[in-house]
Amino acid sequence: MNVPTPRLVVVSGLSGAGKNSILRALEDLGYEAVDNPPLRVVETLIGAAKPLAVGLDARTRDFSAAEIIETLARVRQTTGVQAELIFAIASSDALQRRFTETRRRHPLALQGTVSEGIATEQNLTRPLRDAADWVVDTSELPLAALRQMIERRFAVPAPGLANPSLAITLVSFAFPAGIPREADLVFDARFLRNPHYIPDLRPQTGLDAPVRAYIEADPDYAEFRERLVGLVAFLLPRFVREGKKYAMIAIGCTGGRHRSVTMIEMLAGVLRSQKWVVQVDHSAIRAEQRGADEQRFEPAPDQAGSTGPTGPVQRPASPATTGPGKSGDIRRFFMSGAFP
């Protein structure tokens, strides 16, 4: 009888960056989640029957980044234990906004300002961030997307997959928005002809067949496809041999909607046919959809139509009739950017 491999996931990060949300997502996947236990008892909690997720941050009693790193190193030397460290970050502006919106005190700024607490915690936890197996930036990440990332990375893969220990994320992006911070490989598809300049194709994306056909007809597409697939096929087994658990491959173009999406979809199809574990994120399209959701939930003008010096007076939208926990309430929470 096969005995399950004991698994430990340590979740740390900056206050307000989503550590608790990550722990809850792991708990929903069947992990035993323990938040901020004394560091000395962590090793005693590890068992084969159920994977363990432990939250450790600056609120932990006698917090020491060095001791956490030493504990993980010791656990990894234990035969058969798979241990990983996740570190959640967000920009200082995003953290400041979240604490302001939720009216929470920063745990390291009980007597000072939120910005002082953020800076103190960033310095205190820097060694953990540097040692992390996965640094996840939630600055512009909706809570639903964060949960999906956790589910895809830590759910038990289906049998028959090639190298299920390597989770591959394929990201399309727009260069003006910046290169994804976690990317291991970045490719530029801007040399391919741009559907943006074709009126019928402009409103579509690389998910639509006419856009894909237009890009695939580019004289350089076939060679680019062949070289890209060949390089990725060469590298992925070597990533596995090196012991990497996650690999992010990013392809960018100008708007992040046409060429990069087409190339990512092509690559995802090839890798899935080879039985790799693959998730896809079209970041520019996701950002557009998030913007559309925000517009749908903008406050409506006052029914009386009263106006002020600068135009109609707007009042907060009335509470959703869906009741607590329904999609209306959840979506407004996502848009606030407030991460526990």
276 and 163 Cβ atoms separated by less than 8 Å: yes
Question: Does residue 271 register a pLDDT over 50?
Answer: yes
| Token pair of 208 as six digits | 């639509």
Helix 327-336 and helix 143-154, axial crossing angle in degrees, nearest 10: 100
Q: Which of 153-157, 208-212, 261-265, 320-324 has the lowest mean pLDDT?
A: 320-324
Of residues 156 and 316, the one with the higher pLDDT is 156
Residue 103 has a pLDDT of 73
Residue 307 has a pLDDT of 38
Question: Does residue 135 register a pLDDT over 80?
Answer: yes
12 and 57 Cβ atoms separated by less than 8 Å: yes
Of residues 7 and 105, the one with the higher pLDDT is 7
Q: Which of 174-183, 207-216, 259-268 has the lowest mean pLDDT?
A: 174-183
132 and 122 Cβ atoms separated by less than 8 Å: no
What pairs with residue 311 in β-bridges? 308
Residue 109 has a pLDDT of 72
Residue 198 has a pLDDT of 96
Q: How far is CA 213 from CA 228, 263, 265, 331, in A?
A: 18, 12, 13, 35
Q: How far is CA 169 from CA 149, 219, 273, in A?
A: 9, 28, 15
The mean predicted confidence, pLDDT, of the chain is 81
Q: How far is CA 77 from CA 10, 73, 83, 171, in A?
A: 16, 6, 10, 34
Residue 291 has a pLDDT of 67
Of residues 221 and 242, the one with the higher pLDDT is 221
Side-chain half-sphere exposure of 24, counting CA atoms within 13 A: 10
Of residues 296 and 40, the one with the higher pLDDT is 40
Dihedral sign, Cα of residue 330, residue 335, residue 338, residue 340: positive
Average pLDDT of the segment spanning 250-271: 97
Q: Cα separation of 192 and 260, whole Å? A: 10
Residue 48 pLDDT class (50, 70, 90 cuts): low
Average pLDDT of the segment spanning 77-102: 86
- In which element (H, E) is residue 134 found? strand 134-137
Residue 12 has a pLDDT of 94
Other CB atoms within 10 Å distance of the CB of residue 143: 21
Residue 87 has a pLDDT of 94
| Rounded-to-10 torsion of CA 139, 145, 148, 154 | -10
Of residues 90 and 61, the one with the higher pLDDT is 90
Of residues 147 and 188, the one with the higher pLDDT is 188
pLDDT tens column, 292-336: 655 554 444 443 433 333 343 343 343 333 343 333 333 222 333
Closest to 183 (Cα-Cα) out of 230, 250, 129: 250
Q: Cα separation of 6 and 183, whole Å? A: 29
Other CB atoms within 10 Å distance of the CB of residue 306: 10
Average pLDDT of the segment spanning 108-115: 76
Q: Cα separation of 184 and 182, whole Å? A: 6
Residue found under tokens 């323990």: 34
Q: How far is CA 207 from CA 88, 210, 217, 333, in A?
A: 31, 9, 16, 29
Q: Cα separation of 55 and 207, whole Å? A: 38
Q: What's the gap between Cα 148 and its chain centre?
A: 8
pLDDT tens column, 161-194: 555 568 899 999 999 999 998 899 999 999 999 9
Residue 318 has a pLDDT of 37
